[in-house]
Amino acid sequence: MFRAVLTAVLLLSAAPFPGAGAWAEESAQPPAEIRIGNTAPYSGPASALGSIVRTAAAYFTKLNEEGGINGRRINFISYDDGYSPNRTFEMTRRLVEQERVLLDFGTLGTPTSTAVWKYLNERRVPQLFVLSGASRWGDPHGHPWTMGWVPTYTSEGTLYADYVLKRLPRAKIGLLYQNDDYGKDYVRGFKRGLGAEGRRRIVLEQTYEVTDPTVDSQIVNLQNRGVEVLLDAATPKFASQAIKKAYELGWRPVHLLSQPAASLSAALIPAGLEACRGLISALYLKDASDPRWKDDPGVREFIAFMRRYFPGGDPADLLNVQGYTVAQTLVWVLRHAGDDLSRENLMKVASHIPPLPLPLLLPGIAVHTTPADFYPMEQLELARFDGAHWVLFGQVRDLSSANRR
């Protein structure tokens, strides 16, 4: 556990919640601070993803040193849920009912965020900028207190399907995916994009559980079926295993890698960079290791930020770029809420974000919401890994139509 100067970041173990006490619909904030809650997997099978929230916490520390938001400092309270939905629920109750946070920010993971989705909406607590691309987070009528942030997995899956249909229309297709809403959303979008004829080319589907030790046997099965195109909808740990095992087997399918697993330090380096050569993924953030951005003001500022506020983090890791940018999105909302920090006003502001081209978003991509559209990010661009960094190809694709189906 640690508590940063002026910014509280509690990386707690999952001790049982002892009881909440009385709960009130609105959480009055102390005059000098804004209390923000979060849960993230700092331990467990998805612990690599915890770097996203560590970067966001560092950004709030920077913000507090600069005077905070409208005269208030951010008190950011983050609990370690170990990527366990039950622990996420316990920790979120503690945040709402004991810590009295104003909102829940950046809950990380599909199964974990799902565990508290209903709870937070029933209590009218904003669940802002969920760090999961499940399509359910864009439901302003059924769950008006929840909003996602990253591009949806279904829209990303549709983009990969379009690539396969245009470039590899006769290839045998195999699927590897996490056996929960995270993986199933990718598969749903991919199959939808392939259409009836394209779906006939899927020769094998392999799933894994987050508690599995490896996915080695699944990779062997896919190779044995003659798969030529592999959709890999895994989190970094299992994606890294899949890449490494395929390389060891001498198997070289066209490997389509889910965006959350495109992290250099969390997935690619552990797998071996040579093994990653030729991977295809979809990006919406600038890769700070890409020479094309070496003189980009936003990237230079980000690298300086990382050196000062998160020296243990890698600026080339897209997870850290994501944490920095989602934190900037929340700060925009808080600034524009002004002195009205009611939960209702926060959701009003969050649902009226004009096209916002934040510094580390790729050119042509912006955060944007309306009261009828709770999908802030709906644009992606394909990229291929060249052994050192991601190289963009094609053009920015607007995938908003994929979220309306």
Would 292 be classed as within a structural domain? no
Residue identified by tokens 């700092």 is: 42
pLDDT of residue 404: 67
Cα dihedral across residues 243, 312, 41, 369: positive or negative: negative
Instruction: Count structural domains, the chain.
Output: 2
The answer to whether the beta carbons of residues 102 and 343 sit under 8 Å apart is yes
The answer to whether the beta carbons of residues 152 and 185 sit under 8 Å apart is yes
Q: Residues 249, 303: one domain? A: no
The answer to whether the beta carbons of residues 372 and 142 sit under 8 Å apart is no
Distance of alpha carbon 214 from alpha carbon 218, whole angstroms:
9
The answer to whether the beta carbons of residues 262 and 188 sit under 8 Å apart is no
Q: Residues 169, 259: one domain? A: yes
Q: Residues 255, 346: one domain? A: no
Question: At CA 361, angle to CA 357 and CA 364, rounded to 5?
Answer: 65
Residue identified by tokens 């093994």 is: 275
Where residue 226 sits, what CATH number does that domain have?
3.40.50.2300
Would 92 be classed as within a structural domain? yes
Structure tokens at 214: 């490896």
Q: Residues 162, 144: one domain? A: no
The boundaries of the domain holding residue 276 are 153-283+381-403
Would 289 be classed as within a structural domain? no
- Closest-CA residue to 157 (of 258, 237, 33): 258
The answer to whether the beta carbons of residues 50 and 312 sit under 8 Å apart is no
pLDDT of residue 25: 53
pTM: 0.88
Q: Residues 265, 399: one domain? A: yes
pLDDT of residue 253: 98
Report the 3 state secondary structure along the chain. Answer: CEEECCEEECCCCCCCCCCCCCCCCCCCCCCCEEEEEEEECCCCCCHHHHHHHHHHHHHHHHHHHCCCECCEEEEEEEEECCCCHHHHHHHHHHHHHCCCCCEEECCECHHHHHHHHHHHHHCCCCEEEEECCCHHHCCCCCCCCEEECCCCHHHHHHHHHHHHHHHCCCCCEEEEEECCHHHHHHHHHHHHHHHHHHHCCEEEEEEECCCCCCCHHHHHHHHHCCCCEEEEECCHHHHHHHHHHHHHHCCCCEEEECHHHCCHHHHHHHHCHHHHCCCEEEECECCCCCHHHCCCHHHHHHHHHHHHHCCCCCCCCHHHHHHHHHHHHHHHHHHHHCCCCCHHHHHHHHCCCCCECCCCECCCCCECCECCECCCCCEEEEEEECCCCEEECCCCEECHHHHCC
Would 288 be classed as within a structural domain? no
Would 290 be classed as within a structural domain? no
Distance of alpha carbon 353 from alpha carbon 371, whole angstroms:
10
Q: Residues 356, 386: one domain? A: no
Q: Residues 335, 369: one domain? A: yes
Q: Residues 132, 63: one domain? A: yes
Give pLDDT tens digits for 348-367. 999 999 999 999 999 999 99
Structure tokens at 246: 């395929």
pLDDT of residue 6: 36
Would 244 be classed as within a structural domain? yes
Q: Residues 75, 169: one domain? A: no
Q: Residues 34, 129: one domain? A: yes
Would 197 be classed as within a structural domain? yes
Taking 50 as the pLDDT cut, the residues of the chain under it are 1-24
Q: Residues 208, 184: one domain? A: yes
Q: How many residues does the chain have?
A: 405
The answer to whether the beta carbons of residues 388 and 397 sit under 8 Å apart is no
Q: How many CB atoms lie within 10 A of CB 10?
A: 18
Residue identified by tokens 């966001």 is: 56
Would 160 be classed as within a structural domain? yes
CA 96 → CA 25, 34, 37, 118, 340, distances in Å?
10, 13, 8, 14, 19
Task: Return the C-alpha torsion angle 389, 392, 396, 399, nearest 10.
Answer: -60
The answer to whether the beta carbons of residues 320 and 263 sit under 8 Å apart is no
Q: Residues 131, 197: one domain? A: no
